[in-house]
Amino acid sequence: MHNETKNKIEPKRAQKSLKATAAASAYQKQWFAGLRARVEAGEDFGYLNADVPMEILRAMDIPFVVNQWWAAICAAKRMTQKYYSLLNAEGYRDDLCSYCATALAESYDPDDKISGPWGGLPSPTIAITRLTCDCQSKIFELFANNHGADLYVMENTQPRKAPPKWWELAPDRWEELYDSDRLDLAVEDLKQLIAYLEVKTGKMFDINKLVEVMDLINEQETWYLKIRDLIAKTSPAPVTVVDTINAVMQAQWQRGTRWAADHAKSLYEEIKGFVDTGRTAVPDEKLRLMWLGRGLWHDFAFYQNFEEKYGAAFVWSMYLAMGADAYIRNNVDPDPLRALAARYIGMEDFLHMPPWNANWFLKEARHNNIDGVVYMVPENCMQAVEGSYFIKKTLEDAGIPVLIFKADPVDARKWNRDTMTGLVEDFIETRIIMGGKK
C-alpha cells in the first residue's frame, strides 16, 4: 500500500564540519534532560525572552529556557508547521510573530510530551519578558495562562543619543554610552526582579555569584571576538555560518557557565587549527556574503546552496559578531548589577534601531570584506523590521549590494527553497558579479 509519509523526501540537511558544533548540540540535549528532571522534581522553571537578563537566574540557580532558543529547536526539529496549525485552529491569526508565539502554539498540542522536541517543553512556573514590543508581552501572558505560570514583565527604555561607534564604548565606557538615568532605572528594575524571584522560588541572590557569572561571560565572549576577527582576516574562510551560528547560539543561552566558556575556547582552537593547516570551508571562495537577520532555523542547508556554483560563502552572521561586540562588560566589580544593566538595556538598540545597527553592520561588512548582503526580514515581527530601509541604504551607499527578502526564521509553511535560491542566484549574478563587485 502506498505510504506518503514513508515515501516523503526529506529536505536536504546542512553539512557541518566542526566538532564544536556537534558538541554543543549534544550538550544542550543532555542539559535539557537534566532541566526536565529538576522541573519534575518540583523546582521553579523560568521561560525568558532573549533580552531578559538571564544572568540573574543563572546566579540564583533557577532553571530556565530562552524563548528564541526553544523556537529555533522546534523549527530545527520541524515541529512548527504542526504547532502553527494548532494555533490557527484555536482561532488566532495566522501571522503572529513566530519567534515569540512558537511556545504558545506548542502549549495547545495534547501530544507534546510524546512528540515534542526532547519530550516537549516542561511547564514553566515563571514567564519573563520585557516591554520591547506591542504584542510580545501579550503573547507571553497567554503562554503563562496556558501553563498556570506567573507573568513578570520588565521595563524597556529608549536612548536619547546614538554614539556613532557604540562598539568601542560598550566594553568599558558604558557610562558614556548610556544616559545615567537609564542605567539607574535598569538597576532598580534588576533589584525588583531579584526580590520577586527570591519570594517566588525561596532561593537567595548572591552578588558574588553574579560576579562569577559575569566574569565567565566575559571569558566566553572574548573567545568569540577572537573567532570573529580570525574569520574576518582569513580568505578563503575556515568556516561558514552553518557551523558558527549553531555553535555560538546554543552556547550563548548557557552563558555564565564553565561549560559555555570552555566551549567557546574549544571553538576558537578548532577554527584556528583549520587556519593553521589551510583547511577551508569553500576552497574556491570567490564571494564573501553576509547574512543579516535571524537564523533560518528550518533550512540551514540553504546557506550552502551557492558554494559550488559561485564560490559564494556566507561567512558572517550577527550571532558571533554580537558576542564579540555587544556582550563584553569589563570592570564588573564593584557594581555587577550596573554592568549587567549596561549589557542588556542596549540589545534592542544594537540589533533593531538605526543608526546603531546600520553603522555596526557597515563596520562588520568592511571588516569581513563582504561582497554582498542577503537580508531576511520577517513579515510578522515589528522588531525584526529594524529600520531595514536605513540598513539597506547605509550599506548600498558604501557600495555593498543588499538583497532583502521576506521569510520566517522558524515557520516553514510559506518557505520555498527553490524560489528563494533563485532570488539569491539572481542577486549574485546581476548585483555582485555583473555589478562589478567581482
pLDDT of 383: 62
For 235-269, the pLDDT digits (tens) are 999 999 999 998 999 999 999 999 999 999 999 99
Q: Which residue has the cell 546542512?
A: 14
Q: Is the pLDDT of residue 11 over 60?
A: no
Q: What share of the chain has pLDDT > 90, as a percent?
A: 77
Query: Per DSSP, which regions of 131-171 are E strands?
Result: 150-154
Which sequence spans correspond to the domains of the chain?
4-433
How many other CB atoms sit within 10 Å of the CB of residue 400? 20
Query: Per DSSP, which regions of 293-329 are E strands?
Result: 312-316
φ, ψ for residue 436 (rounded to 5)?
95, 5
Q: Give dist(CA 399, CA 414) in Å, integer.
A: 32
Q: Is the pLDDT of residue 278 over 80?
A: yes
Whose CA is closest to 429, among 286, 310, 305?
A: 310
Which pTM value belongs to this model? 0.93
pLDDT of 2: 37
Q: Is the pLDDT of residue 9 over 60?
A: no
Q: Is the pLDDT of residue 7 over 60?
A: no
DSSP β-ladder status, 46-48 and 402-405 = unpaired
For 118-177, the pLDDT digits (tens) are 999 999 999 999 998 878 899 999 999 999 999 999 999 989 988 889 999 999 999 999
Whose CA is closest to 128, among 109, 106, 143, 113?
A: 143
Mean pLDDT of 390-414: 91
Q: Give dist(CA 213, CA 49) in Å, integer.
A: 19
Whose CA is closest to 272, among 299, 245, 221, 233?
A: 233
Q: Give dist(CA 149, CA 126) in Å, integer.
A: 5
Q: Give dist(CA 290, CA 15) in Å, integer.
A: 19
